[in-house]
């Protein structure tokens, strides 16, 4: 009887070690299916007022001037995917 319980415990541990990574991968893929591209914003230089269009802040010397935009030229207003 003791042999049977240790076998099932060992089998459950192997099964758990195989299922957990698969479940994690499934949840990550599900999140990706609902994600949308990042929006674009106009950023203004604090030093000379130059405007650029980027998805992420270019650094400490810039402030967000306008946005969001759907395109990389900052022409089409709105959030991507909407």
Q: How many structural domains does the chain have?
A: 2
Task: Tell me the average pLDDT across 19-46.
Answer: 80
| Higher per-residue pLDDT: 29 or 54 | 54
> Looking at the structure, do residues 26 and 41 belong to the same domain, yes or no?
no
Instruction: Give the separation between CA 30 and CA 5, rounded to whole angstroms.
Output: 37
Residues 42 and 20 grouped into a single domain: no
Cα–Cα distance measured from residue 62 to residue 80, given in angstroms and rounded to the nearest whole number: 23
Q: What is the pLDDT of residue 53?
A: 98
User: Structure pTM?
Assistant: 0.59
Looking at the fold, whether 28 and 43 belong to one and the same domain comes out as no
As beta bridge partners, residue 42 has 53, 66
Per-residue pLDDT at 19: 79
- Whether the bond between 58 and the residue before it is cis, its omega within 30 degrees of 0, is no
Is pLDDT at 68 greater than 80 in this prediction? Answer: yes
Closest CA to 61 of 47, 51, 50: 47
Which residues constitute the domain of residue 22? 1-35
Same-domain pairing of 48 and 77: yes
Q: What is the pLDDT of residue 40?
A: 97
Residues 44 and 77 reside in one and the same domain:
yes
pLDDT of residue 3: 53
Is residue 45 domain-shared with residue 18, that is, in the same domain? no
pLDDT at 58: 95
């Amino acid at each position: 009887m003791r042999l049977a319980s240790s076998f099932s415990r060992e089998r459950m541990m192997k099964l758990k070690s195989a299922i957990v990574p698969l479940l994690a991968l499934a949840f990550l893929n599900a999140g990706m299916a609902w994600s949308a591209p990042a929006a674009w914003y106009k950023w203004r230089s604090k030093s000379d007022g130059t405007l650029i269009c980027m998805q992420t802040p270019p650094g400490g010397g810039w402030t967000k001037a306008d946005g969001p935009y759907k395109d990389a030229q900052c022409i089409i207003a709105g959030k991507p995917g909407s």
